[in-house]
């Protein structure tokens, strides 16, 4: 595959023929093959534009303030982290969250946080 075609944010490559199709398309209009997963070709950025790497970095460096929770639309958890930011607990939890985010597959991340 040496094509250099650009795909839009709401588009993906067909898993069968490689044509650019709508990200929400379940069946490729070109070859008619059903797509295995609507998130299969979205890479590191979820459909709502959330980046797993950004979330992980927020968690690692700003975890004690719950910034990654706000970023991932877990506002309730974010407020909890913020309330307890004077203890070491959110920092420790944020560090663990960051590691978990880093080792999480893009597909898991998209399923968990990408559609909010």
Nearer to Zn ion, 35 or 64 (CB): 35
Nearer to Zn ion, 21 or 62 (CB): 21
Distance in Å, CB of 3 to Zn ion, minimum: 14
Distance in Å, CB of 96 to Zn ion, minimum: 41
Beta bridge partners of 51: 45
Region from 8-16, 36-44, 89-97, 107-115 binding Zn ion, contact rule CB under 5 A = 8-16
Length of the chain equals 116
Distance in Å, CB of 111 to Zn ion, minimum: 23
Instruction: Kindly report each contact of residues 9-15 with a partner whose C-beta sits within 8 Å and lies 24 or more positions away, as own/partner.
Output: 9/49, 12/38, 12/40, 12/41, 12/42, 13/41, 15/40, 15/41
Please tell me whether residue 30 binds Zn ion under the rule CB under 5 A: yes
Please tell me whether residue 42 binds Zn ion under the rule CB under 5 A: no
Neighbours of 70 (CB within 10 A): 17
Could you tell me where the beta strands, DSSP code E, fall in the chain? 11-13, 20-22
Please tell me whether residue 27 binds Zn ion under the rule CB under 5 A: no
Of 14, 23, 60, 62, the one binding Zn ion (CB under 5 A) is 14
Of 28, 55, 59, 67, the one binding Zn ion (CB under 5 A) is 28
Alpha helices in the chain (DSSP H): 52-62, 67-71, 75-83, 89-103, 106-113
């Amino acid at each position: 595959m040496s094509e250099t075609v650009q795909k839009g944010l709401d588009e993906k490559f067909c898993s069968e023929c490689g044509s650019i199709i709508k990200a929400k398309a379940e069946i490729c209009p070109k070859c008619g093959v059903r797509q295995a997963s609507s998130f299969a070709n979205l890479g590191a950025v979820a459909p709502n534009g959330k980046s797993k790497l950004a979330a992980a970095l927020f968690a690692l460096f700003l975890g004690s303030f719950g910034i990654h929770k706000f970023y991932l639309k877990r506002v309730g958890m974010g407020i909890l982290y913020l309330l307890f930011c004077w203890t070491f607990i959110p920092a420790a939890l944020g560090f663990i969250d960051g590691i978990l985010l880093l080792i999480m597959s893009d597909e898991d991340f998209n399923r968990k946080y990408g559609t909010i």
